[in-house]
A and B are shown apart, each in its own frame.
Chain A
Amino acid sequence: MTASIESDIIDLVAGLDPESLLALLRRQRPDALRHTEGSYHALLHPADPGGVTAAERAAIARRVAELNRDVALTGHYAAKAADDAEPGRLSVILSHVDLLTREPKAASPTDLDALRAAGLTDRDIVTVSQLVAFINHQVRLLAGLRLLGAAP
């Protein structure tokens, strides 16, 4: 047993006390907790960011949270947002973020060509896709936990 229980990003955004019943329930799945947190760091603060900047990553995450109307998560990423992303390139990326979040089944190879034309490499496209998909995961984990925490 660990002597202390630390909050992860999900606890923080959900406003969960790490010793609350719901936070303790999450700790019955320690591997899920650890790799959800690990995914957050790998996608928002990677050791090797490749061609996708920290400002772009924060802007992408914020957009996904906004599209899903998650106020707390939007606030979390808005606080990280910087205005040093290149606007033309960012606007192409955010169009792709909207597609992946709202209607992923409508995606086609030409959507990836638009990203390539904006200067993204294949690796960058995979990173952007992973990040968008991961924030959509976070949104649903948070939504489910809030409902479970509010249940009588």
Chain B
Amino acid sequence: MTARTIDFTIDALGWKPWITPVDYDAATPDQIKALSGLPSKLRTLPYSLVLAHDPEALAERVPLFNTIMSAPGGLPIAERELATLVESVANGCVYCASVHGRRFADLTGEGQVIQNIYDEGFDTPLDSRRRAIVDFAVKLSATPPNAGPEDIAALSEAGLDELEILDLIQSVAMFAWANRLMLTLGEPVPVAVAD
């Protein structure tokens, strides 16, 4: 049993791996190449160096994550962050929530929205667009997923076009992946060393 005693927060947290990370200075060319898709300050984080044990998988995952979370057009970046924050809370990923809750707060200046989700749950009052995004993210992230036609209808009625809905689907799908890695290869720790 691990004591996951850290509460949900938008403050920076660290992450302690349960697997010895690859030593960056002793990494193979394939591992260096896979890590090179990350911003330089992220390449030597324990999480990145744990994933570098399988460079072939990491070399695809890094650009996939980057395009899903930051490709221009479509769903506004802050709403991708909101969806992944909500999924991270639903899955219990305190570390992921801290990163993406903080990004939402930085982009919108509305950190209180995240704090309300932490304090009151997903039923906290939201405008209709955020309501539809949050409801869809919670349902699509469930195992098995339980989103239905009514959720797509709610997104459309709230003004999301098809590309925005696709971006939302891809963001939630990406964090079904990210949350599981962060939750099962290590744990959050209360030191401000990570982005």
**CB 8 Å contact bits of B65-92 with A (1 = contact, 0 = none):** 0011001001000000000000000011
Q: Does A53 contact B (CB under 8 A)?
A: no
Q: How far is the CA of A29 from the CA of B74 in the complex (A)?
A: 10
Chain A hits for B185, CB < 8 A: 112, 125-126, 129
Which of chain A's residues have a CB closer than 8 A to the CB of B92?
A: 104-105
Contact B179 A104 (CB under 8 A): yes
Interface segment out of the listed A1-9, A34-42, A78-86, A87-95: A34-42
Q: Are B152 and A148 in contact (CB under 8 A)?
A: yes
**Residues of chain A lying within 8 A (CB to CB) of residue B172:** 140, 144
Chain A residues with Cβ under 8 A from B166's Cβ?
Answer: 25-26, 28-29, 144, 148
Among A35, A68, A105, A150, point to the contact of B60 (Cβ < 8 A): A35
Residues of B within 8 A of A48 (CB): 56
CA distance A35 to B68 in the complex (A): 10
Q: Which of A129, A133, A140 has the most CB of B within 10 A?
A: A140
Chain A neighbourhood of B180, CB < 8 A: 100-101, 104, 129, 132-133, 136
Per the bound structure, the CA–CA distance linking A35 and B170 in Å amounts to 12
Within the assembled complex, what's the spacing in Å between the Cα atoms of A111 and B184?
9
Stretch at the interface among B103-111, B112-120, B143-151: B143-151
Residue pair B181, A133 in contact (C-beta under 8 Å)? yes
Looking at the assembled complex, report how far the CB atom of B42 sits from the nearest CB atom of chain A, in whole angstroms. Answer: 17
Number of B interface residues, CB 8 Å? 57
Name the B residues within 8 Å of A111 (CB-CB): 184
Q: Mark A92-131, 1 if CB is under 8 A from B, else 0.
A: 0000000111101101110110000000001101110111
Nearest Cβ in chain B — how far from A93, in angstroms?
Answer: 13
Question: CA–CA, A136 to B143, complex, Å?
Answer: 9
What are the residues of chain B within 8 A of A35 when measuring CB–CB?
A: 60-61, 63-64, 67
**Residue of A101, A102, A141 with most chain B CB atoms under a 10 A cut-off:** A141
Query: For residue A68, which residues in chain B have a CB less than 8 angstroms away from its CB?
Result: 143-145
Complex partner residue of A38 from B60, B91, B165, CB under 8 angstroms: B60
- Which residues in A have some Cβ–Cβ distance to B below 8 Å? 25-26, 28-29, 31-32, 35-36, 38-39, 41-43, 46-48, 50, 67-70, 99-102, 104-105, 107-109, 111-112, 122-123, 125-127, 129-134, 136-141, 143-145, 147-148, 150-151
